Chain A
């Protein structure tokens, strides 16, 4: 209204000035008045209240989109999803065939074109070859390819992490928590032995831990070697105390631990996750901005490997938080079809990764999958709170659809009515759900309801709601005809490492080590006696 008044005043003043100039000729007011008019019109334009527009400058533009922040007045126009919000990670939920994997590919295609040197990690939980084909066609060959199933894969070392992380990770993966007594014994075994293995500042692998736990000679030799090198006495004492227990009882107590560990030590996957000189050093790959494809089709083994890899990413994120202060480039992580892979530490790792500019995006099927992680749906709440955007693709189940629809909140629908009796008007408002649960069950493949933050300078932020259709990933590169052929790295026997497995792997090798140990002990005794004789002679 103020703007209208200023405008009217400006126009009337302009007419007045016309009359004045007619009657007065070129008087002083004739020059002043046009300036007054101009100022009034300028003030009128400025006084028009402008809606707070959150025009996202940088981000992922989706062509088929409608902003439904006010669902009664949808804005049908291409939507740009703010890159700052994409860097907070996303949650994408949809039933089978709803388009999750294709959306995951499409966002990676955007990422590879928008930030080609940043790299990313793609965790694929289905294992289909066509997903790999689509990935390569859209974004090109990955720099690294790790598979829990395929023989030709890059190799990693799951023990290439700080001691505490390994203890935590192995306690989660290998310890059987169904029996409190055995759980405590197994955790004690891990806590006593891993610090000893890591003491030598040389690469160690899971088979080294296996050997240390199962081979008393190896344990004795390693403790002796640690003493000889004068390493941390507290750690040595802890290990000595543990190995001083009765051998049979000790092994009985950790039987469950050894059983769970066994496939990872001798199984087909062992070479891929236990390399002294791995071809894939995850920390270095993140630092160098490389793209990694983790092929982890769901099995119990893949689940354990995925947990270990996720923990390693947690370590990388921690390092970035603590030591990389400048030029921290975004390194997005995409966990596709990951519902069964969630575990209790995922929440803290998500938060840590997001803080370290390693945004995690999850693609899964059901709220049941996150609820299953912890009692009381704590994990579901945590994971939804830790994320920058939520997308709901087609959902079949009512419970998940209802829950997701609730996430979009409500809006106020205003209506005006007139009362004839007293000629008064009434404005009524009604709160309605922005998205109905039923609407989520009728979406086409790739279509989604979602909300994502949009940011403005000065820390201003709004949560925009959209209904959109994610694009299909492009065919930018020739699709491969088979899985990638990865060259084998340095064999463990030829690499630098603790080599407990190689040196004690069978009875013959152990007997040989025993002989060597006895020979060394005899030499030591003889040397001591020789020294004593010389001293006695000197004394005489």
Chain B
């Protein structure tokens, strides 16, 4: 039988967006972190009112690595929420299917013993 006590590490998936966002930007070699943060910043920018978007853009463009990371925290939160819900759905399906199989097996063993 599988329970959530065994499945809980699946929720570490929620940390994945943060790990990627922490990757440094090394031009021509490893630009993933920077591109990813830029993508997230653009998404957040779309949510902001036009009058305020400029301030955010200036903060991101002129900031260092830490400023970039702070600027994308709101979108990282959104991604985390999405990730944990995905993990929940996946985990629930796994538990339900596995336990149904185990129950059926146990039932046949008990029936066989009878």
Q: Could you list which residues of chain A lie within 8 angstroms of chain B, going by C-beta atoms?
A: 1-2, 5, 8-9, 12-13, 15-16, 19-20, 23-25, 27, 29, 425, 427
Q: Do B48 and A13 touch across chains, with their CB atoms under 8 A apart?
A: no
One digit per residue, 1 when the CB lies within 8 angstroms of any chain A CB and 0 when it does not, for chain B 34-60 equals 000000000010011100100110000
Q: Do B80 and A23 touch across chains, with their CB atoms under 8 A apart?
A: no
Report Cα–Cα, A20/B81, bound state, in Å: 16
Q: Do A29 and B81 touch across chains, with their CB atoms under 8 A apart?
A: no
Q: Do B88 and A23 touch across chains, with their CB atoms under 8 A apart?
A: no
Interface residues on B, range: 10 to 19
Report Cα–Cα, A53/B44, bound state, in Å: 47
Taking A19-B77, A23-B56, A427-B1 as given, write out 8 further A-B residue pairs in contact, using a Cβ cutoff of 8 Å, ordered by the A residue number: A9-B85, A12-B77, A13-B77, A16-B74, A16-B77, A24-B52, A25-B49, A29-B47
Q: Which residues of B contact A29 (CB under 8 A)?
A: 47
Q: How far is the CB of B77 from chain A (nearest CB, A)?
A: 5
Chain B contact surface mostly: helix
One digit per residue, 1 when the CB lies within 8 angstroms of any chain A CB and 0 when it does not, for chain B 11-44 equals 0000000000000000000000000000000001
Query: Residue among A8, A15, A23 with the most chain B CB within 10 A?
Result: A23
Q: Do B81 and A13 touch across chains, with their CB atoms under 8 A apart?
A: yes
Q: Do B74 and A19 touch across chains, with their CB atoms under 8 A apart?
A: yes
Q: Do A5 and B56 touch across chains, with their CB atoms under 8 A apart?
A: no
Q: Which residues of A contact B47 (CB under 8 A)?
A: 20, 24, 29
Q: Do B85 and A5 touch across chains, with their CB atoms under 8 A apart?
A: yes
Q: Do A9 and B81 touch across chains, with their CB atoms under 8 A apart?
A: yes
Report Cα–Cα, A421/B36, bound state, in Å: 44
Q: How far is the CB of B62 from chain A (nearest CB, A)?
A: 15
Report Cα–Cα, A27/B44, bound state, in Å: 14
The 8 closest A-B pairs by CB, nearest first: A19-B74, A16-B77, A12-B77, A27-B49, A24-B48, A24-B52, A23-B56, A16-B74
Report Cα–Cα, A15/B85, bound state, in Å: 18
Q: Please give me the residue from chain A that is nearest to B74 by CB atom.
A: A19
Q: Please give me the residue from chain A that is nearest to B14 by CB atom.
A: A8
Q: Do B88 and A5 touch across chains, with their CB atoms under 8 A apart?
A: yes
Q: Please give me the residue from chain B that is nearest to A5 by CB atom.
A: B88
Q: Please give me the residue from chain B that is nearest to A16 by CB atom.
A: B77
Given the known inter-chain contacts A20-B74, A427-B1, please indicate yes or no for A8 contacting B52, CB distance below 8 A. Answer: no
Q: Please give me the residue from chain A that is nearest to B5 by CB atom.
A: A425
What are 9 A-B contacts defined by CB distance under 8 Å?
A: A12-B77, A13-B77, A19-B73, A19-B77, A20-B47, A23-B56, A23-B74, A24-B48, A29-B47
Q: Could you list which residues of chain B lie within 8 angstroms of chain A, going by C-beta atoms?
A: 1, 4, 6, 44, 47-49, 52, 55-56, 73-74, 77-78, 80-81, 84-85, 88
Report Cα–Cα, A25/B48, bound state, in Å: 9
Q: Which residues of B contact A9 (CB under 8 A)?
A: 81, 84-85
Q: Please give me the residue from chain A that is nearest to B55 by CB atom.
A: A23
Q: Please give me the residue from chain A that is nearest to B48 by CB atom.
A: A24
Q: Which residues of A contact B4 (CB under 8 A)?
A: 1
Q: Which residues of B contact A13 (CB under 8 A)?
A: 77, 81
Q: Do A23 and B48 touch across chains, with their CB atoms under 8 A apart?
A: yes
Report Cα–Cα, A20/B45, bound state, in Å: 10
Q: Which residues of A contact B74 (CB under 8 A)?
A: 16, 19-20, 23
Q: How far is the CB of A49 from chain B (nearest CB, A)?
A: 13
Q: Do B84 and A16 touch across chains, with their CB atoms under 8 A apart?
A: no
Q: Which residue of B48, B81, B84, B88 is within 8 Å of A27 (Cβ)?
A: B48
Q: Which residues of A contact B77 (CB under 8 A)?
A: 12-13, 15-16, 19
Q: Do A27 and B52 touch across chains, with their CB atoms under 8 A apart?
A: yes
Report Cα–Cα, A5/B83, bound state, in Å: 11
Q: Do A16 and B78 touch across chains, with their CB atoms under 8 A apart?
A: yes
Q: Please give me the residue from chain B that is nearest to A9 by CB atom.
A: B81
Report Cα–Cα, A308/B62, bound state, in Å: 104
Q: Which residues of A contact B56 (CB under 8 A)?
A: 23
Report Cα–Cα, A13/B84, bound state, in Å: 13
Report Cα–Cα, A20/B49, bound state, in Å: 10
Q: How far is the CB of A426 from chain B (nearest CB, A)?
A: 9
Q: Do B48 and A1 touch across chains, with their CB atoms under 8 A apart?
A: no
Report Cα–Cα, A48/B49, bound state, in Å: 38
Q: Do A23 and B81 touch across chains, with their CB atoms under 8 A apart?
A: no
Report Cα–Cα, A71/B79, bound state, in Å: 46
Q: Which residues of B contact A25 (CB under 8 A)?
A: 49, 52
Q: Which residues of A contact B55 (CB under 8 A)?
A: 23
Report Cα–Cα, A356/B62, bound state, in Å: 88
Q: Please give me the residue from chain A that is nearest to B45 by CB atom.
A: A23
Q: Which residues of A contact B49 (CB under 8 A)?
A: 24-25, 27
Q: How far is the CB of B72 from chain A (nearest CB, A)?
A: 10
